[in-house]
Amino acid sequence: MADSTPQTGLRFMKMHGAGNDFVVIDSRAGGAAMTAGLARAIGDRNRGVGFDQLAEITAAEGTDFGLLFWNADGSQAGACGNATRCVADHVMRGLGLDRVTLTTARGRLLAERRADGRVWVNMGPPQLDWREVPLARAVDPLHLPLPGDPVAVGMGNPHCVRFVPDAEAVDLAALGPGYEHDPLFPERTNVEFASLTRPDRLRLRVWERGTGITLACGSGACATAVAAHLRGMTGRRVVLDLDGGVLEVDWQDDGVWLTGPVAHVFDGMLSPATLAAAP
């Protein structure tokens, strides 16, 4: 992306991975600094652009680029697997590479283009200690004292995974907020409802903290696959059917690998008036 300033507007890309949609801002060349207010303004689907998460590309010493993630309510997200794959695809195309390294709040990550054209990223090892998720007190993350006996998994952001007989029948809008804001999660949590449909295959639906219902969630898919394996439901390689498409997770010794489609939808520019109106 080219450099931009508030006087000339702010360039952005719209991308999605399995329907999980993102606005991507490249801050490496300067321009308007991302703030919580600006993220909320861009995330407004009526008055702005709209997104599940905003991914901000930054310069990072020792890796090809860095990433910061913002939710639609202006809060920051520590990880976003699908946005990471989408931005990695964009950077790899720009550099003429099939492999890049990047820096996020989780540390140094690796992304690669697979032979079939899909992009996978190593999201790092799951965080399974209650302090790392994080949880507010010492409880067993594999059996949380919450309705439905959910599992807590950290993937750079907290996840609450509840296994149900039929994920299709879950009222996400009714149940998601209660888990997201439960005091057991001091940083709130993403919420996943999953059901086993075939051996090593899950139907997954997602409520994301700071955003609400989304068509897919990469870190949520990773957390769900980890939880399913720890509960003895699946192996370490899992296919997940989400509302927006199919993701694959492979929990290897070096971390949890997430694979799926990426799509570049369009490029745009936020007007100076929109930037000036952001709180």
How confident is the model over 262-276, as pLDDT tens digits? 999 999 999 998 888
Q: Is the pLDDT of residue 132 over 80?
A: yes
The yes-or-no answer on residue 222 being catalytic is: no
Planar angle of CA 32, 88, 176, nearest 5 degrees: 80
Question: How much is the pLDDT for 184?
Answer: 98
Please write the tens of the pLDDT for every residue from 84-106. Answer: 999 999 999 999 999 999 999 98
Concerning whether 86 is annotated as a catalytic residue, the answer is: no
Q: Which of 86, 160, 217, 222 is catalytic?
A: 217
pTM across the whole model: 0.93
Neighbours of 41 (CB within 10 A): 19
Q: What pLDDT, in 10s, does the model give residues 49-70?
A: 999 999 999 999 999 999 999 9
Coil/strand/helix, residue 120: strand
Could you read off the pLDDT of 175-234 as tens digits, one per residue?
999 999 999 999 999 999 999 999 999 999 999 999 999 999 999 999 999 999 999 999
Q: What share of the chain is helix, strand, coil (3-state, %, to 5)?
A: 20, 40, 45
Please tell me the distance from the alpha carbon of residue 191 to that of residue 223, in angstroms, as a whole number.
Answer: 10
Reported confidence tier of residue 1, pLDDT bands at 50, 70, 90: very low
Handedness of CA 131, 58, 77, 122 (dihedral sign): negative
Q: Which residue has the tokens 């008036």?
A: 273
Instruction: Please give the span between the terminal C-alpha atoms of the chain, in angstroms, as a whole number.
Output: 25
| Alpha carbon distance 210, 165 (integer Å) | 27
For each of the domains in the chain, give its residue range(s) and CATH number, in order of start.
Answer: 10-122+262-277 (3.10.310.10), 151-253 (3.10.310.10)
Tell me the per-residue pLDDT of 233-260, one tens digit each, with 9 for 90 and over. Answer: 999 999 999 999 999 999 999 999 999 9
* pLDDT at site 56: 96
Average pLDDT of 111-121? Answer: 95
